[in-house]
A = this chain, B = another copy of it.
Amino acid sequence: MSFRKKIVKSSEEKKSNIVLALDLPPNDRTLLLKRAARILESTQDHICAVKLNRHLLLPLGLFDGVQDLIFQAKEYQLPIIMDCKINDIGNTNRIIAEHYFGGGFDAVTANPFVGWDDGLQPVFETARNIGRGVILLVYMSHRSAGDGYGREFVAVDGTRTPAYMIFARRAVEWNADGAVVGATYPERIGEIHSVLEQKVPIYAPGVGAQGGTISLCMNKGVRYLIVGRTITLASDPGRVAEKIKNQTRAS
């Protein structure tokens, strides 16, 4: 089953569109793994997928501790995404994707700024060959996102288009499995959704710790909500995940 079908199925079964960003601040490696496993266990009924970033990847190791978390996610029937924001040259991008997919990840994130030819083409090719997914960054959630994603680019014919609109078109053209748009920029979500329509689902990080609003996101066309610190740093992660799940379903 392709990544895209997997997450739709999981989202229906769990009745949730929350992607848990399982990120923890630096700590002893054994503690990190234990805590991550506990958060995943307590939230599994309220999320539709898990996303790891370098917070756990670097200290635990892809073929070491991370394997335990991938195994656990699969046990819960949860697709697992590696948020590695691929942005290297083609040959390296292919090798990065091969390692993450070989390690068991169902999808990777990538930055469309590096282009297609000798850029992200090998990542899409590698993913397509084995039914895995590629999610593109279209507008990030941080304060200076406008200094890159928000800049207007000049085309060969002199017309100006904001980078995020070019990236949204690339997401459709390249048949990406998702587009990341920061929940902190709701007006961008609407604009980008008008390009993506139903072809590419929007994943929005940035609610909670970063200040984005759930209902605004959902109304603007977000399909999956990426939630990290609000859940992972809570004293009762399962309860918080359930609460957010209910909020997104009410919107």
Interface residues of A, Cβ cutoff 8 Å to B: 23, 25-26, 29, 53-55, 58-59, 61-64, 83, 85, 87-90, 92, 95-96, 98-100, 102-103, 111, 113-119, 140-148, 151-154, 160, 210
Question: By DSSP majority rule, is chain A's interface helix, strand, loop, or mixed?
Answer: helix
Q: Which of B26, B117, B147 contacts A99 (CB 8 A)?
A: B26
Cross-chain contact A53 with B116 (CB below 8 angstroms): no
A99 to chain B, nearest CB (A): 4
In the assembled complex, which residues on chain B have CB atoms less than 8 Å from the CB atom of A99?
A: 26, 54, 58-59
* Known contacts A85-B88, A117-B142, A119-B144; 19 further A-B pairs (Cβ under 8 A): A26-B102, A53-B92, A54-B95, A54-B99, A55-B95, A58-B100, A58-B103, A59-B63, A64-B64, A85-B87, A87-B111, A115-B142, A115-B143, A115-B148, A117-B144, A119-B142, A119-B147, A153-B154, A154-B160
Centre residue among A64, A88, A119, A145 by max chain B CB count within 10 A: A88
* 8 interchain pairs, CB-CB under 8 A: A23-B92, A54-B96, A58-B96, A58-B99, A89-B141, A115-B146, A119-B144, A153-B153
Identical copies of this chain, number: 2
In the assembled complex, which residues on chain B have CB atoms less than 8 Å from the CB atom of A95?
A: 23, 25-26, 54-55
In the assembled complex, which residues on chain B have CB atoms less than 8 Å from the CB atom of A210?
A: 89
Cross-chain contact B147 with A115 (CB below 8 angstroms): yes
In the assembled complex, which residues on chain B have CB atoms less than 8 Å from the CB atom of A118?
A: 142-144
Q: Which of B25, B53, B114, B146 contacts A88 (CB 8 A)?
A: B53
In the assembled complex, which residues on chain B have CB atoms less than 8 Å from the CB atom of A63?
A: 29, 58-59, 61
In the assembled complex, which residues on chain B have CB atoms less than 8 Å from the CB atom of A141?
A: 89
